[in-house]
Structure 1
Amino acid sequence: MDGVRVREMTEADIDAVAAVRVRGWQVAYRGLIPQAHLDGMSVEQDACRRREFFSRGVGDVVNVVAETGAGEVVGSGVGEVVGWACFGPYRDRDLPSGDAELYALYVRPDLVGAGIGRLLLTESVARLSERGFPRLRLWVLAGNDRARRFYERAGFAPDGGTEAYEVEGVSVPEVRYARELAPAAA
């Protein structure tokens, strides 16, 4: 998408990232997660949690944002945050360590389908390849057909991993996807 740049997330982006994430959940997960939970989500509470996490340092976790209207200066922080991705080492202990995980990827709901998600995913894959990870894994809600198609078009496939977590007494099943990463050019 023209006019969109991906850059490192800064503390100044936290409110915008929280808005993208909460609105993304409320739209993408309608009918998949109890509506009461979605309605109860708060941008302010999400931003507060994100600030706490950010203040502790992120270690191996990388947060990037997609920004529009930033002008000539990449990462100037003067543009509008329209997407966010977060990735790092694979967290679950069910597989041998060494793989990477895409923890989150959200785009402002009115811009889904505009190429911002693809841009964020491409940047995430490139950075993880540069860090030498052999494989990238991610979890997606089993009923989130749009997200599953998005990841499948990007070369991901279900790897057999499944899990469910409970949201307000409702079991929400997830499917794990994986994709091999190309080694970084020497």
Structure 2
Amino acid sequence: MSGLLVRPMTAGDCEGVAAIRIRGWQHAYRGLVPQPYLDGLDIGADAERHRARLLEGDGSAVDLVAEAEGGELVGWAAFGPYRDGDVRTGEAELYALYLRPEHIGRGVGRALLSEATHRCASAGPRRMYLWVLKDNTRARRFYERAGFGADGAEEPFEVAGVAVPEVRYARELGG
């Protein structure tokens, strides 16, 4: 996508990021998580959570946005230290990557993931992890094309009382 700018997220981006995240969930997870949960997602409440996390966070998580020509936010990614329960390790983790559904397949996700992996590799971690819903075949193909692979770890992710299996993917960062 020409004219795309990947940049750090600001507090002023929280509403747009919340819309991207919620519409991304509603698009990507339809049929994978309970529909009443997806229908009940609230952009305003999500924006407030993002704003609070940005203002009160310890700076270890990094949020990036993808801005199209003209200033429209079309994607968001968040990454930082790998979380193993409450323990931080020396590895990196992609916490989230969501796009406006109409921008899927236009290079926005690749641009965000490329910038996230580049920043992580530059900071020192040798490996990056991410968790993806086991039945989200489109996302799994996307990550596999980017050099990630399932490493055998699997755990349930609970959504509205329903266990939804996730698999962990990993990629060596080199450097």
Tell me whether 1:114 sits opposite 2:68 in the alignment.
no
- In the other structure, the counterpart of 2:119 is 127
- In the other structure, the counterpart of 1:68 is 68
**Cα deviation digits, residues 40-62 of structure 1 (max 9, x gap):** 00111101111111120342111
- In the other structure, the counterpart of 1:141 is 133
**Cα deviation digits, residues 36-82 of structure 1 (max 9, x gap):** 00000011110111111112034211100000125xxxxxxxx1110
- In the other structure, the counterpart of 2:47 is 47
Q: How many angstroms apart in 2 are the aligned matches of 1:168 and 1:60?
A: 29
CA RMSD of aligned residues (A): 1.5
Q: CA deviation at 1:168?
A: 2.1
- In the other structure, the counterpart of 2:27 is 27
- Structure 1 stretches (4+) deviating beyond 4 angstroms? 93-96
| TM-score of the two chains, using structure 2 as the length reference | 0.96
Q: How many angstroms apart in 2 are the aligned matches of 1:58 and 1:4?
A: 28
- In the other structure, the counterpart of 2:160 is 168
- In the other structure, the counterpart of 2:37 is 37
Q: How many angstroms apart in 2 are the aligned matches of 1:123 and 1:42?
A: 28
| TM-score of the two chains, using structure 1 as the length reference | 0.90
Which structure 2 residues correspond to residues 74-113 of structure 1 after superposition, within 5 A? 79-93=71-85, 97-113=89-105
Q: Which moved more, 1:94-103 or 1:41-50?
A: 94-103
Q: Which of the pair is proportionally richer in strand?
A: 2
- The structure number with the bigger radius of gyration is 1
Q: How many angstroms apart in 2 are the aligned matches of 1:65 and 1:58?
A: 19
Runs of at least 5 residues in structure 1 that lack an aligned partner in the other structure: 71-78
Q: How many angstroms apart in 2 are the aligned matches of 1:157 and 1:121?
A: 15
Q: CA deviation at 1:170?
A: 1.4
Q: How many angstroms apart in 2 are the aligned matches of 1:102 and 1:121?
A: 9
**Percent of residue pairs bearing the same amino acid type:** 58
> 1:98 is paired with a residue of what secondary structure?
strand
Q: How many angstroms apart in 1 are the aligned matches of 2:41 and 2:55?
A: 22
Contact 2:82–2:88 (Cα < 8 Å) also in 1: no
